[in-house]
Chain A
Amino acid sequence: MLVLAALFFVVIPVILLLTITNLGDVPTVAKVSAALELLPQKAQEAVRGATAADRTTYALAVYLFAPLAVIVPMTISTAVGANTLVGEKEKGTGEFLAHSPASEREIYLGKLIASLLPGYLTTLVGFGIYSLAVNIIVGPHVGGWFFPTQAWWVLMLWVVPPFLAITLSVVLRLSARVKSAAAAQQASGLVTLPLIVLSYGQSTGALLGASRSGLVVGAIAWTVAGLGLMRGAKAVTRARLLGIDT
């Protein structure tokens, strides 16, 4: 988890941003800067910097790495979540839970929180370090500390959590139904891939779009997440914890 977060939030961005800021206005950077004209008008207006290199690093820092904030928690939480319920079955500890006074809803909620927190907290910490690195590397070139932007706050606090919840609602249902952890991992990978692509697109759109688009995307995602979690809770039964699928 930590290696994945460090790679996506620190190592790759820092190398890329340091490289561009040190290269200056070489032709390649100028081409990337020219490509910024493809961004929506509102996003173009928000890009700061006097030179092509400055504008490029700003755009990369604010727009390019946004989807990573979605992919990292989803990857981590999917890996953890896929094992939660089927792991209890495989190790025989599901029997203990099935005989315990905990309700099926409580067991589901416990597994959901245990899967969601590692991914989301890792992302928040990684995001904090990323913000610091971006402000130190790019900030002096664009007039001071600028990150996180308003759209990033909306993304991290309003858009990412429901997408994570949607993914986990699917993963936990799978984990409750399959027979082995290996099957859970494989099925989760397949099922969550479209969700990752969808959330990648939606989060990027929210960041690039109008100021309210992030709020709208988040609101829709929360609604879908709520419905998904309610359905997902029904997948956890005492019989399934015992490894009986009838």
Chain B
Amino acid sequence: MELAGVRRMFGPATGLADLSLSVPAGSVTVLVGPNGAGKTTTLRVITGALRTEAGTARVFGLDPAGPEGEKVRRRCGVVAAKPALYDRLTGRDNLRYAAELFGLGRKASVDDAADRFGIHQALDLKVGGYSTGMKTRLALARAVLHDPGLLLLDEPTSGLDPESSHAVLELVDGMAADGKTVVMCTHLLLEAEGLADEVVMMEDGVAGCGPSPATTSCSWPRVPTSGPPCWSWPPCSSS
């Protein structure tokens, strides 16, 4: 997945400003930055949900906002900042609906996906009654239902307690171990520890690294989770 010189404005506000980013296949890239840094916009550009005003985006070698965008989206699994589930439907119906949209039909392994994320026992309950953690798990199950090659996670631990957050990050780590390419957004650098192959610091729509802003991402070897929590950049335990 490659973004080169991507710009996206929202009226007078800058969403992305000449963002360049490269995500190798099979890697875990974490986009870190404050609110409004452009993390969510980046994910939306990757799937072609938002068009760019300048620059190019290539995902699986295709332009996601072009005529072949459908092929790109068919290979992407997305967990949005809000789980984006249908509250009046059961968990099972939410997964079935997603399966239909992705062209899986009845052969979709709904139960397997739910089982993998520990949500199977609640599958026949209406999603409106789910806790935030259960919704996140269901959203994760929905995102991997069609076995995507690229997973895009937008603050998947948002609103979760520490224990649930840890569980979700373990699930993400498990998906990375399965060889998926993962791009995750967070505003907590701590969450990248032990998970990220690469961390991209973002602010005001550009990717930067360390004290001097740059237009490329920063390589960052995996940091052991046993180390002290790191709240700063460059990461203390890797220096």
Query: Could you tell me if A242 and B50 are in contact, using CB atoms closer than 8 angstroms?
Result: yes
> A7-15, A93-101, A148-156, A215-223: which one contacts chain B?
A93-101
**Closest CB in chain A relative to B71 CB, distance in Å:** 8
Whether B84 pairs with A95 at a CB distance below 8 angstroms is yes
B47 contacts chain A at the CB level, 8 A cutoff: yes
Q: Within the complex, what minimum Cβ distance (angstroms) separates A25 from chain B?
A: 55
Distance of B17 from chain A, by nearest CB (Å): 16
Q: Does A179 sit at the interface, judged by CB under 8 A?
A: no
Complex Cα spacing A101 to B71, Å: 7
Q: A246 vs B82: C-alpha distance in the bound complex, in angstroms?
A: 21
CB closest chain-A residue, reference B50: A239
B10 x A99 contact (CB < 8 A): no
Q: Mask for A74-104, Cβ within 8 A of B = 1, else 0?
A: 0000000000000000011111111111110
Number of interface residues of B (CB under 8 A): 27
Contact indicator A99/B82 (Cβ below 8 Å)? no
CB distance from A60 to the nearest CB of B (A): 42
Render B161-190 as a binary contact track against A, CB cut-off 8 A, 1 for contact.
Answer: 000000000000000000000000000000
Known A99-B73, A244-B10, A246-B10; contact A239-B82, beta-carbon cutoff 8 A = no
Q: Which of B118-154 contact A (CB under 8 A)?
A: 152
Shortest CB-to-CB span from A78 to chain B, Å, is 21
Contact B82 A95 (CB under 8 A): yes
Q: Across the interface, do A92 and B70 meet the contact criterion of CB distance under 8 Å?
A: no
Determine whether the beta carbon of A100 is less than 8 Å from that of B50.
no
> Which residues of the other chain, B, contact A103 by a CB distance below 8 angstroms?
70
A16-68 at interface with B (beta carbon < 8 Å): none
The proximity string for A residues 100-115 relative to B, scoring 1 for CB distances below 8 Å and 0 otherwise, is: 1111000000000000
Closest to B101 in A: A100
CB proximity of B145 to chain A, nearest CB, Å:
12
In chain A, positions 211-246 with a C-beta closer than 8 Å to chain B are 238-239, 241-242, 244, 246
A242 touches B44 (CB 8 A): yes
Give the docked Cα–Cα distance between A96 and B139 (Å).
Answer: 10
B58 interface residue, CB < 8 Å from A? no
Interface centre among A94, A95, A239 (most CB of B within 10 A): A95
CA distance A238 to B102 in the complex (A): 16
Report yes or no: B73 in contact with A93, Cβ–Cβ below 8 A: no
Smallest CB–CB gap between B65 and chain A, Å? 9
Residue of A101, A241, A246 near B101 (CB, 8 A) is A101
Interface check B49, CB cutoff 8 A: yes
Give per-residue flags for A169-196: 1 if the beta carbon is below 8 A from chain B beta carbons, else 0: 0000000000000000000000000000
Whether a CB of chain A sits under 8 angstroms from the CB of B80 is: yes
Q: Are B49 and A96 in contact (CB under 8 A)?
A: no
Tell me whether B50 and A93 are in contact (CB under 8 A): no
CB atoms of A100 and B84 under 8 A apart: no
Residues of chain A lying within 8 A (CB to CB) of residue B87: 91
Q: When the two chains form the complex, which single residue of A93, A102, A238, A246 contacts B84, counting CB atoms closer than 8 Å?
A: A93
Chain B residue contacts of A97, Cβ below 8 A: 101
Q: Please, which residue of chain B has its CB at the minimum distance from the CB of A237?
A: B51
Interchain CB contact under 8 A, B102 and A96: no
* A100: B residues at CB distance < 8 A: 73, 98, 101-102
Q: Which residues from chain B contact A239 at a C-beta distance below 8 Å?
A: 49-51
State A93–B142 Cα separation when bound (angstroms). 13
Contacting residues, chain A, for B101 (C-beta < 8 A): 97, 100-102
Interface status of B76 (Cβ within 8 A of chain A): yes
Q: A91 to B74, alpha carbons, bound, how many Å?
A: 23
Asked if B31 is at the interface of the complex by the 8 Å CB criterion, the answer is no
The yes or no answer to B202 lying at the interface (CB within 8 A) is no
Judge whether B86 and A99 touch: CB under 8 Å.
no
A103 to B65 CA separation, bound complex (whole angstroms)? 11
11 contacts between A and B (CB under 8 A): A92-B84, A93-B85, A95-B78, A96-B84, A98-B47, A98-B49, A99-B152, A100-B98, A100-B101, A101-B70, A102-B101
9 further A-B contacts with Cβ under 8 Å, apart from A95-B49, A100-B101, are A91-B86, A94-B84, A95-B84, A96-B98, A101-B73, A101-B74, A103-B70, A242-B44, A246-B10
7 interchain residue pairs of minimum CB distance: A98-B49, A96-B84, A92-B82, A99-B78, A95-B80, A101-B74, A101-B73
